[in-house]
C-alpha cells in the first residue's frame, strides 16, 4: 500500500479530458472574478433613448443603436455625426442599457473599449454623472444620443423609439 502512494497517479486517460477540465476550471475562476455581485431588480430599470431636438430620426433598430454606441457606425442616416454618451458604469440605467441594447455586461463593454484604445482605433463615449447632465449635453450637441431613466425630464431633447 505504501508503494502505491509513491507512484504518480494517472487521473486522465485521454489528453482531451485533461484539457477540458483545465479550461473548465479556468472558466470558473474567471467567472468568479469578473462579477462579485448578484444582479438585482434595479438592473432592469426602464430607460429612454434621447436625441438632439433637430435629429430627424424618429426610430432606430437596436442593432444600429448598439453599433453607434460601440462606434461601429459613425453617422445618422441624415449624414450627421453620431455623438453617443454613456452614464456612469455603476448606475442601474447603464447596466440596463448595456444588457438590453449592447447585449453585453458593463465589464464586457469596458473590455471592448480597452482593446480599441490599446490598438489606437478609438475612445469610448464620454460618461456623464446623471440624467440631467445627459439631457443637457443632448440638448446642446447636434448628433448627440444618450439614455436616461424612464422618469427623467427630457427638456427639449426628444425620445427615440428603439425597435
pLDDT tens figures, 125-160: 999 999 999 999 999 999 999 999 999 999 999 999
> Are 115 and 158 contacting, i.e. CB atoms less than 8 angstroms apart?
no
| Cα separation, 107 vs 109, whole angstroms | 5
In this model, does residue 78 exceed pLDDT 70? yes
pLDDT tens figures, 103-113: 999 999 999 99
The model's pTM: 0.72
Distance from chain centroid for Cα 84: 13
| Cα separation, 109 vs 114, whole angstroms | 9
Categorize the per-residue pLDDT at 7 as very low, low, confident or very high, splitting at 50, 70 and 90. Answer: low
| Cα separation, 155 vs 136, whole angstroms | 8
The residue among 35, 130, 57, 41 whose CA lies nearest residue 91 is 130
CATH of span 45-162: 3.40.190.10
Amino acid at each position: 500500500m505504501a508503494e502505491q502512494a509513491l507512484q504518480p497517479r494517472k487521473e486522465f486517460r485521454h489528453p482531451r479530458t485533461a484539457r477540458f477540465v483545465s479550461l473548465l476550471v479556468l472558466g470558473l475562476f474567471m467567472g468568479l472574478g469578473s462579477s462579485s455581485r448578484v444582479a438585482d431588480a434595479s438592473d432592469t430599470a426602464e430607460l429612454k433613448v434621447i436625441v438632439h431636438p433637430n435629429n430627424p430620426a424618429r426610430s432606430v433598430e437596436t442593432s444600429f443603436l448598439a453599433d453607434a454606441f460601440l462606434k461601429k457606425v459613425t453617422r445618422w442616416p441624415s449624414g450627421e455625426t453620431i455623438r453617443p454618451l454613456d452614464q456612469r458604469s455603476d448606475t442601474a440605467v447603464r447596466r440596463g442599457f448595456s444588457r438590453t441594447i449592447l447585449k453585453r455586461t458593463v465589464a464586457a463593454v469596458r473590455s471592448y473599449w480597452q482593446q480599441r484604445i490599446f490598438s489606437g482605433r478609438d475612445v469610448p463615449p464620454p460618461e456623464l454623472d446623471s440624467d440631467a447632465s445627459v439631457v443637457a449635453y443632448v440638448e446642446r450637441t447636434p448628433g448627440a444620443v444618450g439614455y436616461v431613466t424612464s422618469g427623467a425630464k427630457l427638456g427639449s431633447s426628444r425620445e427615440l423609439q428603439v425597435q
